[in-house]
Chains A and B, each alone.
Chain A
Amino acid sequence: MNELIRRDFPILARRIDGKPLCYLDNAATSQKPRKVVEAISRFYLETNANVHRGVYHLSQEATDAFESVRGKVRRFIGAPTEREIIFTKGTTDSINLVATSFGEMSISEGDVIAVTRMEHHANFVPWQQLAKRKKARFEIIELTQDWRLDPKEVDRVLALKPKVLAVTLLSNVTGVTNPVASLAARFKMAGTSILVDAAQGIAHSEVRIDALGPIDFLTFSAHKMCGPTGVGVLWGREALLERMPPYQLGGNMISHVGDFDSEWNELPHKFEAGTPDIASVIGLGAAIDYIDTHGRNRIEEFEQSITDHILSRLIAIPGIRLLGPTDPHHRAPIFSIAIDGVHAHDLATYLDMEGISVRAGHHCAHPLMFKLGLPATCRASFSFYNTLDEADQLVNALSHAPSFFARRRK
């Protein structure tokens, strides 16, 4: 699929230290196709004006371009109305908005707030601190040996009837995809509001509200799906968003400001204080167009073929430890690996010398890493513009890692 696609990403033709760039850090951020960069640049060069402000023609053009992306996002995730699409700075901002605003409205002392062991810090710390502020109970759903949510743990936490469950669609460390629709159906019966962190999920499969069950909030960032940094989306159910207090106060989010009190603008503007990152929103629109051109089903199929190809080869490397399911189903091409006796940073420097860009560290998932007893791992994450050759390159380099790091016999 991807020889033609690769030409859309000029950066993929770069050479690093004489070797072709083998970019396998897509879980951190994806590369951007030319069309996205051009859309941003064209906005600044031809259409730039502030939105929702001016009465002049250019401002209206900018506003139309900006608002048309709201419609694209609505269709992309299958939301019922644009009033439910809120532009934020990114997933982290989206989750903080919900934890602060919804948390303020809904959480009282003694309530239960639930997350899972595999959450990114962005979907962990805001809830942990909300629980602390409100004297609520903070519950963590633990994992099984094969890195998936433990059904017994799900039952245990479900029985506590949490007020909110914050769960990732796809783990940025293990590549596990969570069965969000069935979780949501069960927790909804217990009166739980459900936030789904789709920061990783959005890049790897078709994410649609109607297919995720009775969830209440969905969050994602543009930059992990071929869009620019600096912009993300919060989708929330209109009835909830209407009741939630504003998160940030200032311009655009008000309808009337008196000397001693103010009234709030209607949705979605109530949650969009200040001048937004207009150009990046335009870039997000171009990213959605780009992904739609290729089709999310085809992207998912291609990525599955990478997973099928590489998984058995990775596991077969002597001394390697894969921190994720060895079963290719319900997982994305995100592979965290550790090699016995080799620190993740040394391994990442070695791979870098082989021309392979991977992430080394804790992947913003301290609660998971501490539980595993690992300070750091190396993570290789693929996108639809990666190739099977690159997968082989990684496997080959990892196969030679033990001899590279071999200690002198004493």
Chain B
Amino acid sequence: MNYRDVFGEILADHHESPRNWGPLPGCTREEQGYNPLCGDKVTLRLLVRKDSSGIEHLERCTFEGEGCSICMASASIMSEMIQHKQVPDVRALIEGFREKMQGSETVLSLPAEDSGEDITALYGVKRFPVRIKCALLPWTTLKKGLEATHAE
């Protein structure tokens, strides 16, 4: 048995080859997330612009961090999902993910590898309840970053 058998190819791949990793010149917000209990750290860089009708758009998001495989893979998967999206849609994604991970629905098996959506691979983390917070950290950090941007 190895890591891929337990957490799946998708998580392993995102952990080993993180997407959207690195700096983001011209970003409008840099938000740091830190879990003092386990030491997971993630830094998100956001480029948010308002269009002519006042709707905020998340044009780009990159990340860097040091943490466990689940936290880093979650950040990578999240970063792929939110590029070029309207901020209200991003907020809905964050809320949906939080509900999925903290809700009462149990996830006993890994989703099929070809489900088409990498985020479903993260749902498997629910089998390890203490690790749910690892998966959530990038998302709560994104939420904070968007709120701070909005307030500016």
Could you list which residues of chain A lie within 8 angstroms of chain B, going by C-beta atoms? 343-346, 349-350, 353, 360-362, 369, 375-376, 403-408
1/0 per residue, CB under 8 A from A, across B1-34: the answer is 1110010000011001000000000000000000
Cβ–Cβ < 8 Å partners of B1 in chain A: 404
The complex places the Cα of A343 from the Cα of B41 at a distance, in Å, of: 12
**Cβ of B116 to closest chain A Cβ, rounded Å:** 21
**Interface residue tally of chain B, by bracket?**
20 to 34
Interface residues of B in 129-148 (CB under 8 A from A): 130-131, 134
Interface residues of B in 56-85 (CB under 8 A from A): 66-70
Are the CB atoms of A361 and B39 closer together than 8 Å? yes
**Cβ of A321 to closest chain B Cβ, rounded Å:** 16
Known: A343-B67, A343-B69, A405-B2. 8 other contacts (CB 8 A): A343-B68, A345-B38, A346-B3, A346-B68, A346-B70, A361-B38, A375-B41, A375-B66
The complex places the Cα of A45 from the Cα of B41 at a distance, in Å, of: 49
Are the CB atoms of B3 and A404 closer together than 8 Å? yes
Cβ–Cβ < 8 Å partners of B70 in chain A: 345-346
Are the CB atoms of B2 and A353 closer together than 8 Å? no
**Cβ of B136 to closest chain A Cβ, rounded Å:** 14
* Residue from A346, A353, A360, A362 whose CB has the most chain B CB atoms within 10 Å: A346
Are the CB atoms of A360 and B69 closer together than 8 Å? no
Are the CB atoms of B16 and A349 closer together than 8 Å? no
Instruction: Report the nearest B residue to A352, measured CB to CB.
Output: B128
**Cβ of A102 to closest chain B Cβ, rounded Å:** 29
**Cβ of A397 to closest chain B Cβ, rounded Å:** 12
The complex places the Cα of A391 from the Cα of B69 at a distance, in Å, of: 27
Are the CB atoms of B38 and A403 closer together than 8 Å? no
**Can you offer 23 A-B residue contacts whose CB atoms are under 8 A?**
A343-B69, A344-B38, A344-B39, A345-B38, A345-B70, A346-B3, A346-B68, A346-B69, A346-B70, A349-B128, A349-B130, A350-B3, A361-B39, A362-B36, A375-B38, A375-B67, A376-B38, A376-B39, A404-B1, A404-B2, A404-B3, A405-B2, A407-B12
The complex places the Cα of A360 from the Cα of B40 at a distance, in Å, of: 12
